[in-house]
């Protein structure tokens, strides 16, 4: 640090510290400064982070409420460690219900810290430390290094882009945990720190498998003292009960307001779906106008006679006869299940965009959503090409659009026998994950629908999905998704411009 910056920490109105004195101390020529041991990095970090500045000048009022301290600030982290009699820095509490230790960090083995972050997010939150040994760790000559600061070993954590860690969490967990990342020095040794908040919408759930069987689709991890494991039923029940209680508390002021207004004067606004509705009628906002009236989400209110009124600017459409649904955040699972249940949706284009640039699964239906959006083959192709990026997923989806039967696949063995049943109009029933997978493969082999209806095949594939979910066989999901794409091709083939207009 420059002398002028160091002065800030020591100057007071009644005691000025000049730059020359600081230089003399640094050289060891001022007073007995040469005999005073320099502070280590941790002590210095604590001093700098905790410095409150000089007292205010006369006539100025000091800040009554101190600024909040970050959970990963140097002073906060330093207080969690202590120097033992063996001159080893250790995490004071050890591994607990809010702290987990990892000797090293690596993106190749991300499931280890993804699971830890999910578990903390589902409990009270806490810390994951990297470069800090866990319990029972032994050093040279069998030295006990339990919870000791051992250092990161590599610079991978210090150089990793925080966005890369966040993207990994977003791809595996839903909802995405909220974290803060930092590197800190303890006794001169660098460690990595990730602070995890308790998620307000827990449980945080794994939406895909990671690290083999370490994280499975649908897993909910929970931090118990000393371990991050799959949650126990009693703790999950308590979590859900607490969420329900909080939801009731949040909604009560709105219920009281509705009661005061009366049903004839009130509509309920669903800001996610863009719907205003009462018990009889709904008013939806035209999706093409959403971007022009975003101010509604922020709240544009006038007070007229004490009653708040929401201004709507633009065209509104009455929708009293059919329900318009939107899923909000789209995932691979939502795309599949929305297709299988043939539900009306309000933003079908978003499902196509997701399949092109956001999805992780290789097979996601497109024709169904194009039909809902009233798009022709050329329009879908143009929309995908206009999306940013040049990912392999976009290239693959464009190739599928140009090939009418891309999902069709020749059946062999058991799937071939099941294909003959389907061709005769029979619907085999899945009894276990293997039979469900075979049925999905048989659907992929269909060249035509024969006497089977869309409802027949969607219902059959939905039952296959339910059996696979029950048995936890996530590997079979790829066959179900491809089978869904084959049904999509058979019943919702992408049409050319003139054919799309005729369909609409």
- Rounded CA separation 293/314 (Å): 8
Provide the pLDDT confidence category of residue 51 given band limits of 50, 70 and 90.
low
Query: Which pLDDT belongs to residue 63?
Result: 52
pLDDT at residue number 6: 82
- Measured CA to CA, the distance from residue 400 to residue 200 in angstroms comes to 40
Q: For residue 389, what pLDDT is reported? A: 65
pLDDT in tens, 432-485: 889 999 999 999 999 998 889 999 999 999 999 988 888 766 678 889 999 999
What's the pLDDT band for 343 if we cut at 50, 70, 90? Answer: low
Average pLDDT, the chain: 81
Highest-confidence segment of 137-141, 191-195, 347-351, 356-360: 191-195
Give the model's pLDDT for residue 27.
85
pLDDT at residue 326, rounded to an integer: 46
Q: In terms of pLDDT, which residue wins out, 141 or 413? A: 413
Instruction: Look at residue 303 in the predicted model and tell me its pLDDT.
Output: 42
Q: Taken in order 129, 134, 139, 145, is the CA torsion positive or negative?
A: positive
Residue 5 has pLDDT above 60, yes or no: yes
Q: State the average pLDDT over residues 386-414.
A: 84
Length of the chain: 504
pLDDT band at 295 (very low <50, low <70, confident <90, very high): very low
Core vs surface per residue 125-135: b (16+ CB within 10 A) or e: bbbbbbbbbbe
Q: How confident is the model at residue 275 (pLDDT cuts 50, 70, 90)?
A: low
* Model-wide pTM > 0.85: no
What is the DSSP secondary-structure string of 271-335? TTTTEEE-SS-EEEE-GGGGGGGTHHHH--EEEETTEEEE---S-EEE-SSS-----SS--HHHH
Q: Which residue ranges does the chain devote to CATH 3.30.950?
A: 74-231
Lowest mean pLDDT among 80-94, 159-173, 247-261: 247-261
Q: Which residues fall within 8 angstroms of residue 219, CB to CB, at 6 or more apart?
A: 118, 205, 206, 230
pLDDT of 321 > 60? The answer is no
Q: Which of 39-48, 148-157, 338-347 has the largest mean confidence?
A: 148-157
CA 74 to mean position of chain CA atoms: 27
Q: Does domain 74-231 have CATH number 3.30.1370?
A: no
What is the model's pLDDT at position 55?
54
- Residue 330, pLDDT score: 76
Strand order across the beta sheet in which 189-196 lies: 99-102, 126-130, 189-196, 179-186
């Amino acid at each position: 640090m420059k002398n002028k910056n160091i002065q800030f920490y020591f100057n007071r109105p009644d005691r000025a510290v000049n730059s020359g004195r600081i230089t003399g101390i640094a050289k060891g020529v001022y007073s007995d400064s040469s005999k005073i041991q320099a502070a280590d990095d941790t002590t210095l970090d604590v001093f700098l982070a905790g410095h409150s500045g000089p007292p205010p000048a006369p006539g100025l009022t000091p800040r009554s409420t101190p600024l909040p301290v970050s959970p990963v600030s140097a002073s906060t982290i330093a207080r969690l460690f202590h120097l033992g009699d063996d001159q080893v820095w250790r995490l004071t509490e050890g591994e607990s219900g809010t702290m987990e230790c990892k000797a090293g960090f690596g993106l190749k083995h991300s499931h280890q810290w993804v699971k830890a972050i999910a578990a903390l997010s589902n409990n009270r939150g806490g810390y994951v430390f990297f470069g800090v040994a866990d319990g029972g760790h032994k050093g040279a000559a069998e030295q006990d290094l339990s919870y000791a600061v051992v250092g990161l070993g590599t610079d991978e954590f210090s150089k990793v882009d925080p966005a890369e860690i966040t993207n990994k969490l977003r791809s595996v967990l839903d909802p995405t945990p909220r974290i803060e990342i930092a590197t800190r020095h303890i006794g001169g040794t660098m460690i990595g720190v990730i602070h995890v908040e308790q998620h307000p919408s827990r449980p945080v759930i794994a939406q895909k498998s990671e690290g083999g069987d370490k994280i499975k689709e649908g897993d909910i991890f929970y931090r118990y003292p000393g371990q991050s494991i799959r949650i126990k039923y009693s703790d999950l029940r308590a979590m859900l009960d607490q969420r329900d209680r909080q939801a009731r508390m949040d909604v009560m002021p709105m219920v009281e307001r509705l009661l005061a207004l009366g049903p004839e004067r009130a509509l309920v606004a669903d800001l996610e779906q863009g719907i205003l509705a009462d018990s009889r009628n709904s008013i939806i906002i035209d999706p093409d106008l959403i971007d022009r009236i975003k101010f509604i989400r922020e709240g544009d209110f006038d007070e007229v006679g004490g009653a708040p009124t929401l201004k709507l600017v633009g065209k509104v459409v009455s929708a009293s006869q059919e329900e318009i649904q939107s899923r909000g955040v789209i995932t691979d699972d939502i795309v599949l299940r929305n297709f299988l249940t043939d539900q009306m949706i309000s933003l079908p284009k978003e499902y196509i965009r997701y399949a092109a640039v956001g999805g992780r699964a290789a097979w996601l239906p497109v024709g169904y959503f194009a039909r809902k959006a009233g798009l022709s083959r050329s329009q879908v192709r143009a929309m995908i090409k206009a999306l940013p990026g040049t990912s392999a997923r976009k290239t693959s989806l464009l190739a599928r659009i140009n090939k009418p039967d891309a999902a069709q696949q020749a059946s062999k063995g058991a799937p071939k026998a099941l294909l003959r049943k389907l061709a005769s109009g029979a619907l085999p029933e899945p009894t276990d994950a293997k039979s469900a997978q075979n049925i999905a493969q048989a659907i992929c082999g269909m060249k035509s629908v024969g006497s089977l209806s869309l409802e027949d095949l969607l219902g059959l594939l939905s039952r296959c999905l339910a059996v696979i979910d029950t048995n936890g066989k996530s590997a079979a999901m790829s066959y179900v998704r491809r089978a869904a794409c084959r049904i999509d091709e058979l019943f919702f083939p992408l049409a050319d411009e003139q054919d799309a207009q005729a369909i609409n």
